Structures are given as structure tokens and as C-alpha cells.
Chain A
Amino acid sequence: MKRPRPEPVQVIKQRRDGALAALVGNVPYIRFMGIQFERRGDELTAIMPYSEMLIGNPILPAIHGGATAAFLEVTAIIELSWAILWPEIEAGRMDADTLPRLPRTVDFTVDYLRSGLPRDAYARARINRSGRRYASVHVEAWQDNRARLFAQGTGHFIMPDLAAPRDG
């Protein structure tokens, strides 16, 4: 009995990156905000590059609290969708045309810890619970120092109806 040879790394990377690009590229608002995602294995980091249109207080200047909230919520939704998609991608069942619907936000709470500086912002989400119907996700966002968060958030989501598995 021999194990099948693992797929070439480029093939795997291309499939994973393609799925992520399709997931993110599908949402006009993510493009509007300029938010990007970086992937290391299954770990995602969201990046919101600084732009003048994100400013809420021009005197300080500081990033608008609403832009920060949106950044956290986008990060949570993409992380959750990504976690749903991952097994499909790994099984080779996923392509850009078969994206599931996105999770729907039930509520989202943002905790503003310090003012958002006119710099790039980063965020990572952690799924604390994900069931068949509901999920709870926590997000942390930082700028220059990973340990000094400028905002964190928790949200509850309704999971999308997953299409019946194609191979039974």
C-alpha cells in the first residue's frame, strides 16, 4: 500500500489563492474600502492600507470609527466564509463559480481602544464558535504593534445554507 504522491505545491497554492481571490473580489464594498487579505496556510490577515478617505477626524487626524468597524466586520465575515470553504478547497471541489452565500451579521460590537492613526491597519479573526446555524467571531485590529490593539470586535452570524454535498 502506497500513499498517493502529494500534489505539487504550486497547484495547491494556486487553488487556495484563487479561492480567496474569488471570495474577496466578489464583494464591491471590500474593494471600496481597499481591504486586502494575505494568506499563510489557512491563516488570514486582513490589511486596510491607509487612505485619506478613511479619515473621520481631520484635525488629529484619525481613522473614522465607522471605517474601523467596517474593517473588523469584513475581516470576520471573510474569515468565517474561508473556514467554511477550506475543506471544499482542499478536496478540490471549490472553484470561483461555486462560492457559497456569505454569512449574515446578526450583531456586531466594536471596542475602540485607541484612535486609529493615519497608517495601514491589520486584523485577524478567531472563530470562537461555529455551528450549523450560528457562529461567534472575535476580531483584533492593530497598526504598528501587534500587542497594542487599536480596536477589537465580536460578532454573531447566521451561517449560509450549504448546498447538499455533491458526492453524497
Chain B
Amino acid sequence: MTDGTEAQVAQQFITALPHARALGMRMLSIGNGAAEIEMPYDERLIGDPVTGVIHGGAVSALMDTCGGAAVMCHPEGNGSTATIDLRIDYMRAATPGQTIRARATCYHVTRNVAFVRAEAMDEDSDNPVAAATGAFTFERKGTKA
């Protein structure tokens, strides 16, 4: 759990990113190479007009933001990053009307690269909606941001 100040810092991260803000993302937790972000259901993000399911692109944006946040809060990093590549597997359609929550972990870093795994869930947290793996640029502490 994050205290008031940490929660503020976490939300400021999102507020500073216009695209994340436009998608209505909210940071739930961030720290020690892991991050959790949620994105409430929004009719403007519908990708399949017949079913009302959110577009995969919006889920990609959530995964990318969450992965980036995990890298930026890695204790050995200098707080900046960019995505090198990101692969997303869509296991099932997110249930219309439900908030999607992503959790990303930066599970390994080298001198220049951070490796990330992420998962997205709706209210049925036993069956992930999507999974992602990505590589991000990584700069160690002390190198210029």
C-alpha cells in the first residue's frame, strides 16, 4: 500500500503523460521496479461496436504505460526510459463495463536494457485479459537523464 504522498507522486506520473490522462488511467501503485495502473471502461475506447469490447490498442497503451512505469521506478535506474519492443497476447475480450487493471514487473535489467512482463485483468482476476513482454531502454543511476 502507498501512503498519501506516494499516491500523489504516483498519480503525478500519469498526469504528466497527456495520452495516459486522455485514456483515464489511474496509478494504483509504483515502486521497486513494479507498477499497477487501472483504466476505467469508457465508450470512446470501444473497438468492437457490436459487443462494446475495448479496442486492443487502448489495452496496448495501458500495458506500455505500466511497463514504462515499472522501469522508471527500478532502484538501479535513473528514472527515464523508452520502449524498444512490446508484444501483447490477447487471451480474451475484456468484459464491457469493467475496469481493466494492468500490473507490470521489471524482472531483469542489464547495463542498457530492462526486461518487463505485464498482465492485464478485469474484475475476473483469475483469467487475464492480456499478457505482455517488453524490452525498454535502461540507464543506470548517475547517468544523465
Contacts and interface: CB of A to CB of B under 8 A. Distances in A.
Nearest to A69: B60
B38 to A, nearest CB: 15
A64 B19 contact: yes
Interface in B48-93: 48-50, 54-58, 60-65, 68, 82-90, 93
B111 interface: no
A28 to B, nearest CB: 4
Given A64-B61, A64-B64, A64-B65, A27 B49 contact: yes
Nearest to A115: B82
Interface stretch (A1-9, A87-95, A98-106, A127-135): A98-106
B40 interface: no
24 contacts: A27-B47, A27-B48, A28-B45, A28-B46, A32-B45, A52-B18, A55-B17, A64-B65, A66-B19, A66-B61, A69-B88, A70-B57, A70-B58, A70-B60, A71-B57, A73-B56, A73-B57, A106-B90, A108-B56, A108-B60, A109-B85, A110-B83, A110-B87, A111-B85
Given A65-B82, A110-B60, 18 more contacts: A27-B55, A29-B44, A29-B58, A53-B22, A54-B18, A54-B19, A56-B68, A64-B20, A64-B61, A65-B61, A70-B60, A74-B57, A102-B48, A105-B56, A107-B87, A107-B89, A108-B90, A110-B83
